[in-house]
Structure 1
Amino acid sequence: MATVYKEFVVEAGAAQVWDALRDFNAVHTRLAPGFLAACTIDAEGARVLTFANGLVAREVLVGIDEAHRRLAYTVTGGKATHHHATAQVFEEGEGRSRFVWITDVLPDAMAAYIAPMMEQGGAAMKAALEGRPVAAKATAAA
């Protein structure tokens, strides 16, 4: 199984970053605007994301761990036979936080598609969380 790891420092407090991350159904407006174009909720409660490049993914919330500021989700359907991800926020000093996003995927070759998407998504998240204009757009197709 391939693992894609993305980590970045955000110039915003961990409580503020966690508040945006844990708002699972507002990911397109609060966490990654510009990278994500839309988020709808299907009849089973999964979020259906539309990326700026037109890619659509269905994500199911696995769990939210408030104490550890950690969220887990899985992607269903699509080309991957397994796609599980976690995102976690850590204190990094006053007014700063560290965002860690890890995705496990099968088949391994899917990592080549997911890694650039996570890079772009991370840049969009950092910009949005820091209150800067968002310029990131998804370009890879998974």
Structure 2
Amino acid sequence: MATVYKEFIVEADAAQVWDALRDFGAVHTRLAPGFLTACTIDAEGARILTFANGLVAREVLVGIDDAHRRLAYTVTGGQAAHHHATAQVFDEGEGRSRFVWITDVLPDAMAAYVGPMMEQGGIAMKKALEQHA
């Protein structure tokens, strides 16, 4: 299984970053606008995301851990046999936080596609989160 790891510093309070991350249905407006163009919630509670490049993905929420500012989700119905991700926010002092996003994917070759998508997503998230700080 391939693991893609992205980490970046956000010039915003961890509580504010966490509030945006945990808002599962507003990821396209609060967390990664531009990278994501739409998000709808289906009858089972999964979010259907439309990416700026036209990709559509169905993400099922696995869990939200408020105490550790950690969210986990899995992608279903896509090309990957397995796709599980977590995103977590750490306090780095007043007005600063660290965002850690980890994705495990099978087959390993999917990492070559997922990695650049996560890089683009991280850039969009940092920009949006710092603009609203």
For 2:68 and 2:45, locate their aligned partners in 1 and report how far apart those are by CA, in whole Å: 24
Q: CA deviation at 1:38?
A: 0.1
- 1:36-61 deviation digits (Å, cap 9, x = unpaired): 00001111110000000110000000
Q: Offset of 1:12 from its aligned partner?
A: 0.1
Q: How many residues align?
A: 131
Distance of 2:119 and 2:53 partners within structure 1: 14
**1:74 Cα deviation (Å)?**
0.2
**Secondary structure, aligned partner of 2:84:** strand
Whole-angstrom distance in 1 between the partners of 2:66 and 2:41: 22
Q: CA deviation at 1:81?
A: 0.3
CA distance in 1, matches of 2:115, 2:53: 15
Counting helix residues as a fraction of each chain, which structure ranks higher?
Answer: 2
* Structure-1 separation of matches of 2:69 and 2:40: 24
Q: Secondary structure at the match of 1:72?
A: strand
* TM, length-normalised to structure 2: 0.97
Distance 2:78 2:18 in 1: 28
d(CA) in 2 for partners of 1:113, 1:7 = 18
Distance in 2, Cα, partners of 1:42 & 1:67: 27
Secondary structure of 2:4's match?
strand
Q: Which residue of 1 aligns with 2:23?
A: 23
Tell me how far apart the structure 2 counterparts of residues 122 and 5 of structure 1 sit (CA, whole Å). Answer: 11
Tell me by how many angstroms 1:93 deviates.
1.1
What's the secondary structure of 1:6's corresponding residue? strand
Within 2, Cα distance between the matches of 1:67 and 1:41? 25
Match of 2:83 in 1: 83
Q: Secondary structure at the match of 2:59?
A: strand
Aligned-pair CA distance for 1:123: 0.1
